[in-house]
Amino acid sequence: MAQPRVCRVAAAEDPLERAVNVPANEPAANSFVPNRENQRELRHALGCFGTGVTVVTIDTAEGPFGMTVNSFSSVSLDPPLILWSVDKRSARCRNFENAEHFTVNVLQQNQQDVAGDFAKNPMAFREGLWRNGGYGSPVLNHCLATFECVRETHYAGGDHTIILGRVLQATVNNGVPLLFFRGEFGSVA
């Protein structure tokens, strides 16, 4: 049986540097027990999981409201369920917890500006680029896919709230997805 390779980790002050500053032909290794002191490393590790990028949109008394989100995940086909999570430390959290309906708008590669806008500003709705959906939440135009949902329930998830939604309407367009990997936007090659 092949012996497991012994990884030599290059010495560096910063553990994140240590994880990347090794010769290309050797695997980088940085293993740790997550705790309050190394949250940055955990964020970096989690960022290795490349995702698509969505904007979750809701209707509020002040008008349409949104947030850039990559925690979106499919859950169930029957019934059709999806989830995403919202940071409880965000001032936007309460709005999303209270919203009975929401839309998950899956962004295309040419919508990086939309992702940037909604990361900074929940009211970043540009005229002509969105519409009122038929299920009580705004829908962004020109997305790769949209999922108009009714909130099924939400759960406590540490410093986030996990929102579970039932898909009432799914819409798919042709196109190429916007991706997010290690803190940067990208697309499929």
Under the rule (CB under 6 A), what is the footprint of ligand FMN? 53, 67-71, 84-87, 90-92, 115, 119, 180
Q: Does residue 166 contact residue 152 with C-beta atoms inside 8 Å?
A: yes
Q: How far is the CB of 113 from ligand FMN (least distance, A)?
A: 12
Per-position b or e across 1-35, b if 16+ CB within 10 A of its CB = eeeeeeeebeeeeeeeebbeebeeeeeeebeeeee
Of 81 and 119, nearer to ligand FMN (C-beta) is 119
Q: Closest separation between CB of residue 178 and ligand FMN, Å?
A: 9
Q: Look at residues 72, 47, 45, 88 and name the one whose alpha carbon lies nearest to residue 143.
A: 72
Of 71 and 109, the one with the shorter C-beta distance to ligand FMN is 71
Sheet strand arrangement including 51-52:
51-52, 178-181, 184-187
CB of 149 to ligand FMN, least distance (A): 15
Considering beta carbons, is residue 70 or 103 the nearer one to ligand FMN? 70
Min CB(68)–ligand FMN separation in Å = 4
Cβ atoms within 10 Å of 92's Cβ, excluding its own: 16
For ligand FMN, which is the closer residue by CB, 18 or 154?
Answer: 154
Least distance in Å: CB of 129 to ligand FMN?
A: 18
Query: For residue 73, what are the β-bridge partners?
Result: 83
The residue (of 130 and 180) whose beta carbon lies closer to ligand FMN is: 180
Give the whole-angstrom CA distance, residue 78 versus residue 166.
10
